[in-house]
Amino acid sequence: MENQFQAGYKAGVNADVPLSPFEMSKFYEDFKIGYVVGLAHVHSVRCASAWAGASEAAEMGQKYLISYESLKPHFTDPSDPEVLEFLQRGYGIGDDDYDEDDQ
């Protein structure tokens, strides 16, 4: 029997189009994380870039209200630390130019 993360990952890898936030709202958090990791994996393969996958994960993670900390373990690659940096940028972490008061 597969866990929620594995089920979400399979669904993300096999998705033709991403689920809407409303559709995703009925799933458990682990399913959502797996789904985003699966979508990001497919995106990184299509673009031949792990960085593109991390950027996609940040975009979808925010859309599905998944915290940066929940996705971080899945994008930590000691051989390529820039993958995590792209996830951080997608969440606006470490962006010195960003200031909420400017909004």
Whole-structure pTM value: 0.86
Give 96's pLDDT tier (boundaries 50, 70, 90): low
In this structure, are residues 81 and 50 in contact, taking their beta carbons and an 8 Å threshold? no
Sign of the CA dihedral with 31 first, then 77, 92, and 43 last: negative
Q: In whole angstroms, what is the distance from residue 27 CA to residue 93 CA? A: 26
* pLDDT computed for residue 1 by the predictor: 61
Q: In whole angstroms, what is the distance from residue 80 CA to residue 67 CA? A: 22
Domain extents in the chain: 4-12+28-93
